[in-house]
Each structure stands twice: as C-alpha cells, then as structure tokens.
C-alpha cells in the first residue's frame, strides 16, 4: 500500500536536473535561488537548519546546510535519496552553494518538509507527567509510527544510530511522526566494524557503552523505547552524565549484566567486575501510570530493554505487540489518520516473509474498505 510519498520521491530520484535549477546565486553560476526568507531554526556540529519559502509555490520548507568535503561522498544524502516512507523525512530537493568567504569549498543544502516542532518540544508540554498530557491513544499512535519507521529502515538495511526526541519531527494536528537527521545513519554489514561512540548518550544501547564495533539495528529499537518512556515521564529514562554513569543508570533498572550478556554485547570485552545489582521491576517505575498504560506496556518494555541485542524484539514484532492492539480495532483511530497506521511500503512487504503485515497488521475490516 503506497501513498503520495512514493510518486513524489520518484520524481526527485529520477530527475537530477531539477537540483541544478535550485542553486543559489554565486559568482560562477549566477543562478537565482528558488528559496527565500531563510530563518535559522537550528544549528550544531553538523551545520545549520533554516526555515525557508519556495518561490515557485510558496511552500514552507526546511533546509539543512552542511559542509561538503569534495573528497567524500555525502552518506546522509545518499541515504535520503533512498528513503521513501511516511514516517521518515522526505527529501524534496538538494543543491550546492559556496561556503561563506570561500570560492573553493562547497556546502550541501538539503531541502525537506518543514515540521512545526520536534518530539523534544512536544514532550516538554505533553508528557503524561505534564499539566496537558498526551492521550493514551495518541501516545500509541505516535510511538507506533516510530517503530514503523524502524521496520522500514530495517527492510532497506539502514541503521539510524541517533534516535532521540530532537531527531523525531511531529505534526500534532496531522498526528504524523517522521524520523529525521540521518547524518549518523549507515547501512550496516555483517562482519564490518563500526564506531562504537555513536548515538546520543541517554538513548545509547548498552552494547555501544561496552565498545561494541559489530552491532545491529537493534541499537535503534533500544533508543526508540527510551523515547517512548520519555514521552510518559517527561524526562530521559537513563540520564547518565557520562558513559560509565549511563551504564550505571541502566544497571539500576535492568540489574547487573551476566557474562553471557556481556559477551553477546561485545565478545572482545575483557572486564567483568561489576557490583551485583538486582533489577528494579519496570512496573514499579511506571506504577503511577499502570492504570492507563496497562501491563502490555510493561511487557513491551521488557522485550526491548534487555542487554543481549539478539534477544530484543524486532520492530515488526513491536508493531504486533498487544500494546498496540487498540489501533487495529475499528473505530478507535479516526478515519483521517488510519493511513498512518495501515500504510506499509513495498520494501516492508517484500521483506515480510511471514506475511505478518497483510495477515495481522492491516486488519481485515480496513482491507475491505480499500
């Protein structure tokens, strides 16, 4: 089941000349930009993000500007060109400009959909702890979409490696979630080493803290589960001040990892001396909300918050979890938002060898209405 994202993406992918027409004014090209009214809305080590207006149609867009080293291919751009899913950011265009005060160095400008806020802003105002809490059904709709995005990324072999509230865009009115900022993303290959110092600390899976260089997409589902907990508590679930403290925060909840856990996180890790700490049951952590979240919520967390990455459930299993059963009941999700729950990409369906999507995730009552 595909939607408007598919055709618009194909136009971008197969019409590279479109990008050349969007270059900003420079002394060499002297071509007028199609984007005006640039307003800074974010910055960091990666570069800057601007809100802008497309002159051709008046559309408001976001433009991410990063330095482009001519010696390397921009991995984020290559990934964005491949993405085509309702829950991942949509690449609209890209173009190059000269770096400020330099005619030889270039900046890559990536044009994407503009969202009014990210999940970090939303959580501050609408966590279950706030004065204006998110409804339980909306909590499920938003968190379901995060797992849905991971299922799609898994199907095309991409690991995001920096899932956090700041990298999840939200349109509350449309009830739409999209994962953005693929600057740390990578296609992981078995047997290929990767850097372990990746992912923002509060959302870093324990194998990364154990310096694993061969890890899987399971680090992303750990991060999403941390975000889900933050949507409830209004603060990071594992708020470590450094890597060691981060591990201590995890141990406080999960207890001390055993030897097998550590080997499965990083086979080459040689240090096993940790204080013996018993796990602190998750149902006590969330006891204030159990009457509205239910035991299924605790069960979902228990299937993700495990040390051994091989034992964490896959994103498609998270989508099937009982915690999200309400979303599959007729009449629970408003009609205008059902596509957010029941739209799956061709890649997801092709990767679903057990036909879970057709047989379970898209309920029969919805298929009959298509």
Q: What is the per-residue pLDDT across 331-364, written as a single tens digit (0 to 9) for each?
A: 999 999 999 999 999 999 999 999 999 999 999 9
Q: Is the pLDDT of residue 366 over 60?
A: yes
Q: What is the average per-residue pLDDT within 120-131?
A: 95
pLDDT tens, 243-284?
A: 999 999 999 999 999 999 999 999 888 776 778 899 999 999
pLDDT tens, 302-340?
A: 999 999 999 999 999 999 999 999 999 999 999 999 999
For residues 231 and 128, the answer to whether their CB atoms sit within 8 Å is yes
**Could you give the percent of the chain with pLDDT greater than 70?**
89
Domains of the chain, start order: 4-12+33-113 (3.30.200.20), 117-369 (1.10.510.10)
pLDDT value of residue 297: 98
pLDDT value of residue 63: 95
Class of residue 257 by CB neighbours under 10 A (exposed 0-12, middle 13-18, buried 19+): buried
Q: Is the pLDDT of residue 99 over 60?
A: yes
Class of residue 359 by CB neighbours under 10 A (exposed 0-12, middle 13-18, buried 19+): exposed
pLDDT value of residue 71: 76
Distance CA 31, CA 76 (A): 26
Tell me the pLDDT band of 301, cut-offs 50, 70 and 90.
very high
Q: Burial code of 112-142, b = ≥16 C-beta within 10 A, e = fewer?
A: bbbbeebbeebbeebbbeeeebbebeebbbb
Catalytic residue among 69, 103, 162, 181: 162
| Total-model pTM | 0.88
CB-facing half-sphere around the CA of 71: CA atoms within 13 A: 0
Q: What is the average per-residue pLDDT within 109-121?
A: 95
Question: Is residue 326 among the annotated active site residues?
Answer: no
pLDDT value of residue 141: 98
Q: Is the pLDDT of residue 137 over 60?
A: yes
pLDDT tens, 22-51?
A: 333 333 233 345 899 999 998 876 789 999
Tell me the pLDDT band of 104, cut-offs 50, 70 and 90.
confident
Q: How does the average pLDDT of the chain come out, rounded?
A: 88
């Amino acid at each position: 089941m595909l939607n408007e994202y598919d055709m618009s993406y194909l136009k971008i992918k197969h019409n590279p000349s479109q990008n050349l027409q969007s270059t900003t004014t420079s002394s060499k090209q002297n071509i007028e930009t199609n984007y005006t009214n640039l307003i800074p809305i974010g910055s960091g080590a990666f570069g800057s993000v601007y809100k802008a207006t497309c002159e051709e149609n008046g559309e408001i867009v976001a433009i991410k500007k990063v330095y482009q080293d001519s010696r390397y291919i921009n991995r984020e751009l290559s990934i964005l060109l491949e993405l085509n899913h309702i829950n991942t950011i949509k690449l609209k265009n890209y173009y190059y400009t000269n770096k400020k005060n330099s005619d030889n160095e270039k900046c890559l400008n990536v044009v994407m959909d503009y969202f009014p806020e990210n999940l970090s802003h939303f959580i501050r105002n609408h966590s279950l702890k706030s004065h204006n809490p998110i409804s339980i059904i909306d909590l499920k709709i938003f968190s379901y979409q995060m797992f849905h995005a991971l299922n799609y990324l898994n199907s095309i072999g991409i690991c995001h490696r920096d899932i956090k509230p700041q990298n999840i865009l939200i349109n509350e009115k449309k009830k739409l979630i999209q994962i953005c900022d693929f600057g740390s993303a990578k296609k992981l290959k078995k047997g290929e080493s990767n850097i372990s110092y990746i992912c923002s600390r509060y959302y870093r899976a324990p194998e990364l803290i154990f310096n694993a260089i061969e890890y899987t997409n399971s680090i992303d589902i750990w991060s999403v589960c941390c975000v889900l907990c933050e949507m409830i508590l209004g603060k990071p679930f594992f708020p470590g001040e450094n890597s060691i403290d981060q591990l201590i925060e995890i141990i406080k909840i999960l207890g001390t990892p055993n030897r097998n856990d550590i080997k499965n996180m990083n086979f080459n890790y040689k240090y096993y001396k940790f204080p013996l700490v018993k796990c602190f049951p998750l149902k006590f952590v969330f006891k204030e909300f159990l009457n509205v979240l239910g035991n299924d919520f605790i069960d979902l967390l228990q299937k993700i918050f495990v040390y051994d990455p091989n034992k964490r459930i896959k994103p498609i299993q998270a989508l099937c979890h009982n915690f999200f059963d309400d979303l599959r009941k007729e009449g629970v999700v408003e009609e205008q938002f059902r596509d957010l729950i029941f739209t799956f990409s061709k890649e997801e369906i092709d990767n679903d060898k057990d036909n879970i999507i057709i047989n379970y995730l898209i309920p029969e009552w919805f298929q009959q209405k298509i």
